[in-house]
Chain A
Amino acid sequence: MLRQSHLLGIEPLAPAEIGALLDLADRYADLNRSGRGHLDVLTGLTQINMFFENSTRTQASFELAGKRLGADVMSMAMAQSSVKKGETLIDTALTLNAMRPDLLVVRHGQSGAVDLLAQKVTDCAVLNAGDGRHEHPTQALLDALTIRRRKGRLHRLSVAICGDIAHSRVARSNILLLGKMENRVRLVGPPTLIPAGAGDLGVEVYHDMREGLRDVDVVMMLRLQKERMDGGFIPSEREYYHRYGLDAEKLACARDDAIVMHPGPMNRGVEIDGTLADDIHRSVIGTQVEMGVAVRMAAMDLLARNLRAARGARVVEV
Chain B
Amino acid sequence: MATLFRDARLIDPEAGEERRGDLLVQDGRIADGPVPEDAEVIDCGGLCLAPGIVDLGVKVGEPGARHKESFRSAGRAAAAGGVTTIVTRADTDPPIDTPETLEFVARRAASESPVRVLPMAALTKRLAGREMTEIGFLSDAGAVAFGDGLRVVEDTRVLSRALTYARSCGALVVSHVQDPGLSRGAVATSGKFASLRGLPAASPMAERMALDRDIALLEMTGARLHVDQITTARSLPALERAKRGGLDITAGVSVHHLTLNEFDVGDYRTFFKLTPPLRAEDDRMAAVEALASGLIDVLCSMHEPQDEESKRLPFEAAASGAVGLQTLLPAALRLVHAGHLDLPALFRALSTNPARRLGLECGRLTTGAPADLVLFDPDRPFVLDRFTLKSKSLNTPFDGARMEGVVTGTWVAGDRVHHA
Binding site for B on A (CB under 8 A): 11, 88-90, 108, 110-113, 115-116, 131-135, 169, 172, 195-198, 200-201, 230
Question: Are the CB atoms of A111 and B195 closer together than 8 Å?
Answer: no
Question: Are the CB atoms of A112 and B190 closer together than 8 Å?
Answer: no
User: What residue of chain A has the Cβ atom nearest to residue B193's Cβ?
Assistant: A197
**B185 within 8 Å of A (CB atoms):** yes
Question: Are the CB atoms of A112 and B197 closer together than 8 Å?
Answer: yes
We find that the number of chain B residues with CB closer than 8 angstroms to chain A is: 24
Please name 17 further chain A to chain B contacts, defined as beta carbons within 8 Å, in addition to the given A89-B314, A132-B199, A201-B192, sorted by A numbering: A89-B313, A90-B313, A112-B197, A112-B314, A112-B316, A116-B268, A131-B198, A133-B199, A134-B197, A172-B195, A172-B196, A196-B203, A197-B193, A197-B195, A198-B192, A200-B192, A201-B196
User: What residue of chain A has the Cβ atom nearest to residue B196's Cβ?
Assistant: A172
**B383 within 8 Å of A (CB atoms):** no
Interface-central residue, A89, A135, A195, A198, by most chain B CB under 10 Å = A195
Q: Which 10 A-B pairs have the closest CB atoms?
A: A112-B268, A133-B198, A134-B198, A197-B192, A196-B190, A195-B195, A111-B198, A113-B314, A110-B314, A200-B192
**B347 within 8 Å of A (CB atoms):** no
Complex: A201 Cα to B196 Cα, angstroms? 8
List 19 contacting pairs A-B, 8 Å CB cutoff, sorted by A.
Answer: A11-B196, A88-B313, A90-B313, A110-B316, A111-B315, A112-B268, A112-B316, A113-B314, A132-B199, A134-B199, A169-B198, A172-B195, A196-B190, A197-B192, A198-B192, A198-B195, A201-B192, A201-B195, A230-B184
Interface-central residue, B184, B198, B317, by most chain A CB under 10 Å = B198
Give every chain B residue within 8 A of A132 (Cβ-Cβ). 198-199, 314, 316
Give every chain A residue within 8 A of B193 (Cβ-Cβ). 197
Question: Are the CB atoms of A111 and B199 closer together than 8 Å?
Answer: yes
- The 8 Å CB contact of A110, one of B203, B312, B317, is B317
Question: Are the CB atoms of B314 and A197 closer together than 8 Å?
Answer: no
Complex: A113 Cα to B199 Cα, angstroms? 11
CB distance from A176 to the nearest CB of B (A): 8
Complex: A216 Cα to B315 Cα, angstroms? 37
Complex: A88 Cα to B191 Cα, angstroms? 30
Complex: A223 Cα to B191 Cα, angstroms? 23
- The 8 Å CB contact of A197, one of B184, B190, B267, B313, is B190
Question: Are the CB atoms of A90 and B198 closer together than 8 Å?
Answer: no
**B309 within 8 Å of A (CB atoms):** yes
- The 8 Å CB contact of B316, one of A88, A111, A135, is A111
Question: Are the CB atoms of A111 and B313 closer together than 8 Å?
Answer: no
Complex: A230 Cα to B192 Cα, angstroms? 21
Question: Are the CB atoms of B268 and A111 closer together than 8 Å?
Answer: yes
Give every chain A residue within 8 A of B309 (Cβ-Cβ). 88
Question: Are the CB atoms of B197 and A196 closer together than 8 Å?
Answer: no
Interface-central residue, A115, A197, A201, by most chain B CB under 10 Å = A197
**B341 within 8 Å of A (CB atoms):** no
CB distance from A227 to the nearest CB of B (A): 15
Question: Are the CB atoms of A115 and B198 closer together than 8 Å?
Answer: no
CB distance from A11 to the nearest CB of B (A): 8
A-B contact count (CB 8 A): 73
CB distance from A251 to the nearest CB of B (A): 28
Question: Are the CB atoms of A172 and B190 closer together than 8 Å?
Answer: no
**B201 within 8 Å of A (CB atoms):** yes
Give every chain A residue within 8 A of B190 (Cβ-Cβ). 196-197
**B286 within 8 Å of A (CB atoms):** no
**B194 within 8 Å of A (CB atoms):** yes
Question: Are the CB atoms of B267 and A112 closer together than 8 Å?
Answer: yes
Give every chain A residue within 8 A of B312 (Cβ-Cβ). 88, 90
Contact code string B307-341 (vs A, CB < 8 Å = 1, else 0)? 00100111111000000000000000000000000
- The 8 Å CB contact of B201, one of A115, A169, A196, A201, is A196
Question: Are the CB atoms of B268 and A115 closer together than 8 Å?
Answer: yes
Complex: A206 Cα to B317 Cα, angstroms? 33
Give every chain A residue within 8 A of B314 (Cβ-Cβ). 89, 108, 110-113, 116, 132
Asked if A197 meets B268 with Cβ closer than 8 Å, knowing A88-B313, A110-B317, A172-B198, the reply is: no
Give every chain B residue within 8 A of A110 (Cβ-Cβ). 314-317
Give every chain B residue within 8 A of A133 (Cβ-Cβ). 198-200
Give every chain A residue within 8 A of B316 (Cβ-Cβ). 110-112, 132
Give every chain B residue within 8 A of A108 (Cβ-Cβ). 314
Complex: A135 Cα to B197 Cα, angstroms? 8
Interface-central residue, A88, A112, A116, by most chain B CB under 10 Å = A112
Complex: A134 Cα to B267 Cα, angstroms? 11
Complex: A169 Cα to B198 Cα, angstroms? 7
Complex: A116 Cα to B317 Cα, angstroms? 12
- The 8 Å CB contact of B194, one of A11, A89, A116, A196, is A196
CB distance from B179 to the nearest CB of A (A): 16
Complex: A191 Cα to B313 Cα, angstroms? 31
Asked if A115 meets B267 with Cβ closer than 8 Å, knowing A90-B312, A169-B198, A196-B191, the reply is: yes
CB distance from A207 to the nearest CB of B (A): 17
CB distance from B12 to the nearest CB of A (A): 45
Complex: A142 Cα to B398 Cα, angstroms? 41
User: What residue of chain A has the Cβ atom nearest to residue B309's Cβ?
Assistant: A88
Complex: A125 Cα to B267 Cα, angstroms? 18
Complex: A113 Cα to B316 Cα, angstroms? 9
A-facing residues in B228-273 (Cβ within 8 Å): 267-268
Complex: A201 Cα to B184 Cα, angstroms? 25
Complex: A8 Cα to B334 Cα, angstroms? 35
Complex: A116 Cα to B313 Cα, angstroms? 8
Give every chain B residue within 8 A of A230 (Cβ-Cβ). 184-185
Interface-central residue, B195, B201, B316, by most chain A CB under 10 Å = B195
User: What residue of chain A has the Cβ atom nearest to residue B265's Cβ?
Assistant: A112
CB distance from B261 to the nearest CB of A (A): 14
Complex: A178 Cα to B367 Cα, angstroms? 69
